[in-house]
Amino acid sequence: MKPGTTKPIVILGIESSCDETSASVCIDGRILSNVTATQKIHETYGGVIPEIASRVHQQNIIPVVDIALKNAKVSKNDIDAVAFTRGPGLLGALLVGTSFAKSFALALDIPIIEVNHMQGHIMAHFIDEPKPAFPFLCLTVSGGHTQIVRVNDYFDMELLGETTDDAAGEAFDKTAKILGLPYPGGPLIDRHAKLGNPAAFSFTEPQIPGLNFSFSGLKTQIMYFVKEQLKQNPHFLSERIDDICASVQQRIVTILLNKVKKASDETGIRQIAIAGGVSANSGLRETLQTWSREHHWDVFIPAFEYCTDNAGMIAITGYYKYLNQDFASQDISPLARMAVTG
Ligand code: KG4
Ligand code: ZN
């Protein structure tokens, strides 16, 4: 509720940092709609083409917002503020969401709220119950980031470790490319892995100091392994795809969770959350549950629709910023790079 009134706080959230155009309506901290248009066109190119992403965002943004408002049964005039992803992401893609949010808010004479996309992924934990208490650790794993964040409060986040090269999502996507699977390969590896044996092949774990990660060596290892196997058996990929995917997935998951364990031991924090596109991975979700029993952790895993890029996480972050009256100015511009702490 708005302070001193019985009127609910209505936030429209907009996400356009990469290849998903998404809009969401949040009323008093509850997500009433979360509508995402995924840009399938990038599959043809084996990766996201920034220029195409911007153009498709331009085509999708108005219909996506219309549907989000309809699904939530609210009209434009009910909206109190527009929250949008300022960064990090593809500049041209961010520009579409930012410009839309600014002009929409200007026309309605309401404030705008800037949201850091990586904070948004973490804030997705404040959509559904149970919500974590502060402080908690969040493993944020997406196509562009792999981070362990200590979350002290809604907007007080400390980066404890991050990847020194590829992100975990990139490790999935690049492995998929080596295996001849289309982009984005993460969900496909997940599907094949369900049918395979994770102990069929072994890949080594990189020895990276502290709480940082590295995935580029694993990718090279997989590339040489596949090349060698194909020399002996040209049908290796089609015959063993499930086992390869299960073994690679298992390795990525243990690399991630070994660092989470180290972070938990070092900080004494036993509330562990995961966020970002790779948190949709069933191997990561199941292994985290198993480890939580062994290590006495309380784990927080977002619903699937709030793992990959979505505006629900932007709208909920906007709601908490609205409570702080933390508004942005109309001359704000998007940023391709933004730290999770800022
Ligand atoms: O958070 P996100 O939607 O976008 C970024 O902010 O990057 O994450 C996308 C990444 C992609 O690399 C995609 O392959 C990966 O998340 N991903 C998965 C799964 N679903 C999405 N990786 C493994 N298993 C999945 N089920
Ligand atoms: Zn993301």
Closest ligand 1 atom number to CA of residue 185:
14
- For residue 97, CA distances in Å to 37, 68, 77, 85, 274 come to 13, 15, 20, 7, 26
pTM for this structure? 0.95
Nearest CA-CA partner of 340 in 177, 122, 127: 122
Does residue 200 share a domain with residue 78?
A: no
Is 229 exposed, middle or buried, given 0-12, 13-18 or 19+ CB atoms closer than 10 A?
middle
**Residue span of the structural domain in which 39 resides:** 10-123+307-323
Residue of minimum CA distance from atom 16 in ligand 1: 277
Q: What is the pLDDT of residues 77-115, one digit of tens each?
A: 999 999 999 999 999 999 999 999 999 999 999 999 999
Per-residue confidence (pLDDT) for residue 44, from 0 to 100: 79
Going by their DSSP bridges, the two strands 298-300 and 271-275 should be labelled as: parallel
Indicate whether 329 belongs to any domain.
no
Q: Which long-range contacts (CB under 8 A, 24 or more apart) does 196-200 make?
A: 196/241, 196/242, 196/243, 196/244, 196/245, 196/246, 196/247, 197/242, 197/243, 197/246, 197/247, 198/246, 198/247, 198/249, 198/250, 198/283, 199/247, 199/250, 200/240, 200/243, 200/244, 200/246, 200/247
Ligand 2 centroid to 220 CA: how many Å?
A: 25
Per-residue confidence (pLDDT) for residue 4, from 0 to 100: 78
On whether the CB atoms of residues 311 and 14 are closer than 8 A, the answer is yes
Does residue 169 share a domain with residue 201?
A: yes
Q: What is the DSSP string of 134-183?
A: SSEEEEEE-SS-EEEEEEEETTEEEEEEEBSSS-HHHHHHHHHHHTTPPS
Averaged pLDDT of the chain:
96
Indicate whether 338 belongs to any domain.
no
Residue of minimum CA distance from atom 2 in ligand 1: 277
Cis peptide before 132, with omega less than 30 degrees from 0?
no
Does residue 148 share a domain with residue 276?
A: yes
Residue of minimum CA distance from atom 13 in ligand 1: 186
Indicate whether 332 belongs to any domain.
no
Does residue 287 share a domain with residue 149?
A: yes
Does residue 192 share a domain with residue 255?
A: yes
| Amino acid making up residue 117 | H
Indicate whether 330 belongs to any domain.
no
Indicate whether 4 belongs to any domain.
no
Rg (CA), the chain: 20
Residues flanking ligand 1, CB < 6 Å: 18, 142-144, 169, 172-173, 184-187, 190, 276-278, 280-281, 308-309
Does residue 160 share a domain with residue 119?
A: no
Does residue 225 share a domain with residue 110?
A: no
Indicate whether 339 belongs to any domain.
no
Tokens at 1, concatenated: 């509720």
Percentage of residues in the chain with pLDDT exceeding 90? 92
For residue 178, the domain's CATH number is 3.30.420.40
Does residue 170 share a domain with residue 104?
A: no
Q: What is the pLDDT of residues 277-293, one digit of tens each?
A: 999 999 999 999 999 99
**What protein residues have CB closer than 5 angstroms to ion ligand 2?**
142, 309
Given a cut of 80, whether residue 342 has pLDDT beyond it is no
Phi-psi region of 58 (alpha: psi -120 to 50; beta: other; left: phi over 0): alpha
Q: How confident is the model at residue 256 (pLDDT cuts 50, 70, 90)?
A: very high
Going by their DSSP bridges, the two strands 81-87 and 30-38 should be labelled as: unpaired
Closest ligand 1 atom number to CA of residue 17:
6
Indicate whether 3 belongs to any domain.
no
Does residue 154 share a domain with residue 82?
A: no
Given a cut of 90, whether residue 2 has pLDDT beyond it is no
Nearest CA-CA partner of 284 in 178, 186, 143: 186
- Cα separation, 186 vs 245, in Å, equals 10
Does residue 173 share a domain with residue 113?
A: no
Tokens at 20, concatenated: 């998903």
Ligand 1 centroid to 276 CA: how many Å?
A: 7
Report the domain count for the chain.
2
Q: Which residues pair with 298 in a beta bridge?
A: 271
Does residue 314 share a domain with residue 268?
A: no
Indicate whether 41 belongs to any domain.
yes
Q: Of 15, 175, 255, 278, which is best to mutate to test ligand 1, by the most ligand atoms within 8 angstroms of its C-beta?
A: 278
Residue of minimum CA distance from atom 20 in ligand 1: 187
Q: What is the pLDDT of residues 148-173, one digit of tens each?
A: 999 999 999 999 999 999 999 999 99
Q: How confident is the model at residue 6 (pLDDT cuts 50, 70, 90)?
A: confident
Q: Of 43, 48, 142, 179, which is best to mutate to test ligand 1, by the most ligand atoms within 8 angstroms of its C-beta?
A: 142
Does residue 262 share a domain with residue 156?
A: yes
